Amino acid sequence: MSSLDAYPSDVREQVAAARVKVSALHAELPRWGLVVWTAGNVSQRVVVDPAGPSERDLLVIKPSGVTYDELTPESMVVCDLDANLVEGDRAPSSDTAAHAYVYTHMPHVGGVVHTHSTYATAWAARAEPVPCVLTMMADEFGGDIPIGPFALIGDDSIGRGIVETLRESRSPAVLMRNHGPFTIGTDAKAAVKAAVMVEEVARTVHISRQLGEPLPIAQSDIDSLYARYQNVYGQH
């Protein structure tokens, strides 16, 4: 399908809602100091099949090379999971193929975010995982924040690296080597939260390293903290 008009009305309504949501969430990236100029992107899966996520799904993402203050719901572009443009007046983000690959191969993922946030990207440049030395990290990431492989931009190579790294990890974030963080979530808001948190802990652990060697947290305590935060903490 090459046009959104070919999709059922309920799917078109979901796309319209996703455009509003994704546009608003992009404003969170500069707000939290995670991006400069036009770098970075947020996407949201739109489930097409009533039975659940499938390779027929769509994604909503920002257009390439557009500044954050220019973004509106109408400027968001819609692509299929082969990264083909379905609706929009501009070319999609250069990272669209990576997002699409994640959605295709990780059906539980509903949102993907990419930034070049300073501290997280500094760890990626050294190809060093951020060690789990903070209770906040145990809560949010369930352990170390892993490093993904080096991959060139433009095809699904980055997406492959994300999936290979996170498929066996509790972490919703991966630091792609020499590139920067990609985060996933049940929806785009959850992925944005993970992007904010990965930068915060990368910064804190870096500062701790300047003072001395951070103290590790026992794996049993990491498991306990993660289970509590994911299943008990907050409003349920």
Catalytic residues, by residue number, are: 114, 116, 139, 179, 233
What one-character-per-residue DSSP string does the chain give?
--SGGGS-HHHHHHHHHHHHHHHHHHTHHHHTT---TT--EEEEEE--STTS--TT-EEEEPBTT--GGG--GGG-EEEETT--EEE-SSPBPTTHHHHHHHHHH-TT--EEEE---HHHHHHHHTT-PBP--SHHHHHHHSS-BPEEPP--BTBSHHHHHHHHHHTT-S-SEEEETTTEEEEEESSHHHHHHHHHHHHHHHHHHHHHHHHSPPPPPPHHHHHHHHHHHHHTSS--
